[in-house]
């Protein structure tokens, strides 16, 4: 085909994740084979396998068999937090959003060991592009983002999850009074998150006077790092392997908590 007749390629989208190998260990494959049909949601896909088809929806009442407060964890990893939360809080529903299939399989193993709670489901989609399509506005009571990839190199900062496109996508999904909880063990990323989250009129810090976790870290503290506004460790956040790795490396753990301000207060939705 002549070059002039070839259709132009669509611009490459910036994503906050990199698809890694999908091969599963025997134990994870076993968990996937036994439990994925019951727990892993499978909405119609769009142009990529991590993006839902236009017009796809997720009926939460049908999925969970009831109406309850919804907790969403974006980048749920190996499932430590979301499975523990589902087991300990049967009155709430929990949605784990993760594109890494081995992580989803490990989460299924944890669900199995936790007695197979019915108030959790797994969504194998890109959160930024999937959640606004599938979920209605003001449907999330708590949103968690723990230890997302810090993309430390300057040229990769655009890949960081906490950036305007992600916030524009998910903040309308937070119910009035919803909690948005985050944590990272990279000081530069914590500083980056504060700059973007503090600027959003829809959000207010839960702990405006909260001190930072320390003044000494193995990574460099950015100039102008906020002295206050940091959250204490959320009691519902279990210590994951990612956090333990950061601690061993001498890094501080930075927790943040925000509340979604009421829409009728004069603050515009995202």
The pLDDT tens digits for 93-111 are 999 999 999 999 999 999 9
- Kindly give, in sequence order, each residue whose CB lies less than 8 Å from that of residue 241, ignoring residues fewer than 6 positions away: 78, 80
Tell whether 73 is in a known binding site: yes
Active site residue ranges: 149
Q: What is the pLDDT of residue 159?
A: 87
Instruction: State mean pLDDT over 140-151.
Output: 95
**Residue 162, SS3 per DSSP:** coil
Tokens of 41: 């949601």
Tokens of 220: 């460099």
Question: Of the candidates 139, 225, 235, 219, which has an alpha carbon nearest to the alpha carbon of residue 186?
Answer: 219
pLDDT band at 16 (very low <50, low <70, confident <90, very high): low
Q: What is the C-alpha radius of gyration for the chain, rounded to an integer number of angstroms? A: 19
Q: What is the pLDDT of residue 155?
A: 87
Does 196 score more than 90 pLDDT? Answer: yes
- Kindly give, in sequence order, each residue whose CB lies less than 8 Å from that of residue 37, ignoring residues fewer than 6 positions away: none
Does 6 score more than 80 pLDDT? Answer: no
- Kindly give, in sequence order, each residue whose CB lies less than 8 Å from that of residue 248, ignoring residues fewer than 6 positions away: none
Tell whether 36 is in a known binding site: no
Does 42 score more than 80 pLDDT? Answer: yes
Tell whether 243 is in a known binding site: yes
Q: How far apart are CA 246 and CA 43, in angstroms?
A: 35
Does 5 score more than 70 pLDDT? Answer: no
Q: What is the pLDDT of residue 267?
A: 45
Tokens of 99: 């594109």
Angle, helices 26-39/101-113, rounded to nearest 10 degrees: 80
Q: Say if residues 64 and 119 touch (Cβ distance below 8 Å).
A: yes
Question: Of the candidates 260, 211, 233, 238, which has an alpha carbon nearest to the alpha carbon of residue 110?
Answer: 238
Q: What is the pLDDT of residue 222?
A: 93
Tell whether 33 is in a known binding site: no
Q: What is the pLDDT of residue 106?
A: 97
């Amino acid at each position: 085909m002549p070059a002039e007749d070839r259709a132009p390629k669509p611009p490459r989208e910036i994503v906050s994740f990199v698809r890694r190998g999908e091969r599963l260990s025997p134990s994870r494959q076993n968990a996937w084979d036994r439990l994925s049909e019951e727990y892993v949601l499978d909405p119609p896909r769009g142009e990529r396998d991590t993006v839902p088809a236009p017009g796809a929806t997720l009926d939460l009442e049908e999925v969970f068999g009831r109406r309850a407060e919804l907790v969403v964890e974006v980048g749920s990893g190996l499932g430590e937090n979301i499975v523990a939360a589902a087991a300990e809080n049967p009155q709430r529903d929990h949605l784990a959003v993760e594109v890494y299939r081995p992580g989803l399989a490990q989460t299924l193993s944890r669900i199995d060991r936790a007695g197979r709670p019915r108030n959790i489901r797994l969504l194998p989609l890109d959160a930024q592009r999937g959640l606004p399509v599938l979920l209605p506005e003001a449907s999330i009571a708590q949103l968690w983002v723990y230890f997302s990839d810090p993309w430390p190199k300057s040229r990769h900062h655009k890949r960081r999850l906490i950036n305007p496109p992600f916030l524009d996508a998910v903040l309308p999904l937070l119910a009035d009074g919803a909690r948005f909880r985050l944590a990272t063990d990279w000081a530069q990323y914590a500083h980056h998150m504060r700059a973007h989250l503090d600027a959003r009129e829809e959000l207010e810090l839960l702990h405006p006077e909260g001190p930072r976790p320390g003044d000494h870290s193995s990574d460099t503290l950015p100039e102008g790092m906020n002295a206050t506004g940091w959250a204490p460790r959320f009691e519902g956040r279990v210590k994951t392997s990612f956090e333990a790795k950061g601690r061993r490396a001498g890094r501080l753990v930075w927790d943040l908590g925000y509340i979604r301000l009421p829409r009728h207060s004069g603050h515009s939705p995202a």
